[in-house]
Every structure is written in C-alpha cells, then in structure tokens.
Amino acid sequence: MAEFTMELNDEQKEVRDWLHGFAADVIRPAAAEWDEREETPWPVIQEAAKVGIYSLDFYAQQYFDPTGLGIPMAMEELFWGDAGIALSIVGTGLAAVGVLANGTEEQIGTWIPQMYGDANDVKVAAFCSSEPDAGSDVASLRTRAVYDEAKDEWVINGTKTWATNGGIANVHVVVAVVDPELGSKGHASFIVPPGTPGLAQGQKFKKHGIRASHTAEVILDQVRVPGSCLLGGKEKLDERLARARERAKAGGERVKNAAMATFEASRPAVGAMAVGTARAAYEVALDYAKTREQFGRPIIDNQGVAFQLADMRTQIDAARLLVWRASWMAISGKPFTAAEGSMSKLYASETAKKVTAQAVQILGGNGYTREYPVERMHRDSAIYTIFEGTSEIQRLVIARTLSGMPIR
C-alpha cells in the first residue's frame, strides 16, 4: 500500500508536464473548431495515439499507479486543455474500466486492445448503461439479455441512450437485465464485438457542452453475442445471482450490479475532469483580471474581483484534495465508508459549475462571447453534475452511507 502524499514523484511530474504540453499545444488550439463542428475530433485522437496518450499502455500505467494519482492527474491536465476533446480521448476508458472491473483476464486481454486500435487506425469504445427511462435509476433498466443455451449465445434487445461514442465505437460494453425479479442485482455486462448484426446508432444528440464528444442512442435488435462475451463468465454470474436470490429472501445486504461497479471506479476520475475545467477557467479569469483596466487600474485591485478569485482557487484545491484522497483509497483497497468517491465527484463537479460561472462574470461581456474560452468552459462544466450520477444521486449515496438508512 502506497503512503498517501500530496506531492507527485518525479516520474508523475514528468508525465504531468508532458500531458500539459499536449493539452496546450494540440488540444487547446483545436478546441473552438471542434466545439463548433460538434464532431468527433479524429485527427486529435490520432495525434494522441501517435505520442502514446491514447493507448492501452498509457491508460494501464496510470490506472495501476500505486499511489492512485495517475488517472486523476492525467484527467485534470487533459480536461484543462478542453473538456469536449478530452472526453473524446478518454471516453473509451469508461468501457475499459467496465471490462477491468467485471471481466476475466482473457476478456481484458482480448477486448481492451480492440477498444483503442493503434496509431495508424484508431478505434473507440462505448459503455452503454443509461436508457430513455432509466438514467440514475439503474434498477429500471429494460434492455434484456436472454441466454440461448443450445447455441451458447446471449440475445440482447433494448435501447441505450447518452452513450459516449455510441454507434461509432469498435467495441460496445452493454449493461442488460438477465433476471428481472432481482432488480438492479439482476444485471450483467456484455461485450458486443465489432460488426455484430442488430446493433445500430440511433439519435445523435446535439448538446449544450462537450460538443466535440459524440453522444448517441444505441439500438440493440436481436443482437447475438457468444457466451464468452458475458463479462466475468456464466459460472460467476450464476453464483452471483444465486447469492442475490438468497439475500433477497433473507432481506440481506445489497449486492452491487455491473453498472454501479463501473461508476464507483470512475467517480473520482470524473471529479478530476471537473477540476481541470475549473482550473482552466480560473487561470483565464486571473490573467484577465490582472490585465483588464477599468477606472485607471486593473480590475483585480478591486476586492469584489480579488475575493472571487481567492474563493475560486480555494475551492479548486479543495476539490482536487477530495479527488486525490478517493483515488488513493481506491488503489489502496480502503472502503469508501463515508462515500468518499461520491464526495469527490459531487464537490468537484459543483465547483466546476460555480468557478466557470464566476470566470464568465469576471470577464463581463467578453466572457459571454465565443472570443474567450470561458463561455465554452461554462457550457462544458454543466455535464459534470449530470453524467455518471447526478449531484442529487451523489448526495443520496453519501446520505445513505453515513446514516445506514434506505433514504429515498
């Protein structure tokens, strides 16, 4: 177990500086263009692949960093560059985490490389959980997976929505119901290989922010996948379902489902994304306040502006510390006894919304135009309080964990 520290080691600093350089030199100059185009920035993803940022090796190195700080440090720097482009670069990671959290070693080795492709032929992957009538309420999923024992295949039917890279992905990871009577405990995750008949892209969403990231519905119509595509395997699933049925009869403890295992692993990473966006907006506002003059002096000379900047920086640093604590606890195997993962995501995402709004206010009319990036950062920040568990859901998780009560 690595000792908790707030100081990055030399190797981590080198990686951080490398990522910061890529964000400054490659991502930022392209941010406004791809936000306007509302298209996946394939050339930028390819550049990230060429230098080794968009790759299984890089992701694995950060994911298995013994301090737990590799992923949040990487996310903060990339999202400091631009949230939409960064999400296009790291969006595959959510599907990869789904496989890492639930898959066998063979499944991990087979499918994760296919999610990324290579520098000459980049691929992306999609994690498909939310549905039109089931976002935060994962117990209401309707997508069904039925086992065809004669053919050792699973037949999947349903509609997924809000899927990052949905429909354009090489590999889709789909959460489906295998035992409706067990509610959220009766879920399982499946790999849908490239080119599988029956999977199609539905509506592509035109979004308020993160517009360089592709978000769409995924339609699954009689999609058949081999038994080997059930993450974790059927024997493990049967054992888990049997335990869930016994506990349901006894009124026992809650059993985690496949989607929640993925979300719990990724919440501190989402918090780090929010920190990166907040930090970027704060830096723009600070520079502007030091150079913009009104009434014969820089506006930062006014306490009304200076105190806002002081609060912004304090909140950003506090958010980062919550993210780092949760990330260190996760890699160290320490349980989130006070829902520390949800705390980090909640506070960081709310901080991003608040800080980016303050940045727009400090820039005044300029902040409201697309000539300055804080307008885009403010639009982008809204997603952090929504995806992978809304702020309201995070508060519910925290309250339930602290009280031990089934708060609704």
Instruction: Please give the Cα distance from 261 to 256 (Å, whole number).
Output: 7
CA angle 80, 97, 270 (to 5 degrees): 30
pLDDT over 50 at 407, yes or no: yes
| Beta-strand pair 121-122/144-148 | unpaired
Please tell me the predicted confidence (pLDDT) of residue 254: 52
Q: Mean pLDDT throughout 63-68?
A: 93
Instruction: Please give the Cα distance from 40 to 238 (Å, whole number).
Output: 39
Encode pLDDT of 114-169 as tens digits: 999 999 999 999 999 999 987 767 778 999 999 999 999 999 999 999 999 999 99
Backbone angles phi, psi at 246, to 5 degrees: -65, -40
10-122 belongs to CATH 3.30.70.270: no
Please tell me the predicted confidence (pLDDT) of residue 309: 98
Which amino acid is residue 329, in one-letter code?
A: M
Q: Binning pLDDT at 50, 70 and 90, where does residue 322 land?
A: very high
Encode pLDDT of 343-400 as tens digits: 999 999 999 999 999 999 999 999 999 999 999 999 999 999 999 889 999 999 999 9
Please tell me the predicted confidence (pLDDT) of residue 37: 98
Q: Binning pLDDT at 50, 70 and 90, where does residue 101 land?
A: confident
3-state secondary structure 44-71: HHHHHHHHCCCCHHHHHHHHCCCCCCHH
Q: Mean pLDDT throughout 32-51?
A: 98
Q: How far apart are the first and last CA of the chain?
A: 36
List, in order, residues 6 or more apart from 276 with CB less than 8 Å away. 75, 76, 77, 78, 79, 80, 81, 83, 86
pLDDT over 70 at 1, yes or no: no
Please tell me the predicted confidence (pLDDT) of residue 133: 87
Please tell me the predicted confidence (pLDDT) of residue 257: 55
Instruction: Please give the Cα distance from 194 to 114 (Å, whole number).
Output: 9
Please tell me the predicted confidence (pLDDT) of residue 183: 87
98, 116, 97, 99: which is closest to 108 by C-alpha? 99
Question: What sign for the dihedral angle of Cα 400, 96, 351, 163?
Answer: negative
Instruction: Please give the Cα distance from 197 to 155 (Å, whole number).
Output: 11
Q: Please list the helix, strand and coil fractions of the chain in percent, rounded to the nearest 5, in that order.
A: 60, 15, 25
Judge contact between 164 and 215, C-beta under 8 A. Answer: yes
Please tell me the predicted confidence (pLDDT) of residue 262: 56
Active-site pick, 264, 293, 388, 392: 388
Instruction: Please give the Cα distance from 224 to 313 (Å, whole number).
Output: 51
Please tell me the predicted confidence (pLDDT) of residue 184: 84
Instruction: Please give the Cα distance from 298 to 284 (Å, whole number).
Output: 15
Encode pLDDT of 240-257 as tens digits: 999 999 887 776 545 455
Instruction: Supply the mean pLDDT for the chain.
Output: 94
The secondary structure element, H or E, covering residue 262 is: helix 258-291
**Hunting for tokens 């980016």 — which residue is that?**
356
Please tell me the predicted confidence (pLDDT) of residue 261: 54
Which amino acid is residue 265, in one-letter code?
A: A
Q: Mean pLDDT throughout 261-271?
A: 77
The alpha carbons of the chain give a radius of gyration, in whole angstroms, of: 22
Strand partners, 226: 153
Encode pLDDT of 178-212 as tens digits: 999 998 899 999 999 999 999 999 999 999 999 99
Is 388 among the residues known to form the active site?
A: yes
pLDDT over 60 at 223, yes or no: yes
Q: Binning pLDDT at 50, 70 and 90, where does residue 97 land?
A: confident
Please tell me the predicted confidence (pLDDT) of residue 255: 46
pTM of the model: 0.93
Encode pLDDT of 282-297 as tens digits: 999 999 999 999 999 9
pLDDT over 80 at 225, yes or no: yes
10, 5, 22: which is closest to 69 by C-alpha? 5
Integer CA distances (angstroms), 71 to 12, 52, 90, 309, in order: 11, 15, 10, 27
CATH of 125-250, one of 3.40.50.2300, 2.170.120.20, 1.10.357.10, 2.40.110.10: 2.40.110.10
Q: How many helices (H) and strands (E) does the chain have?
A: 14, 11
Q: Give the class (CATH, top level) of 258-403.
A: mainly alpha
Give domain limits for the chain. Answer: 10-122, 125-250, 258-403
**Chain-centre distance for alpha carbon 58:** 17
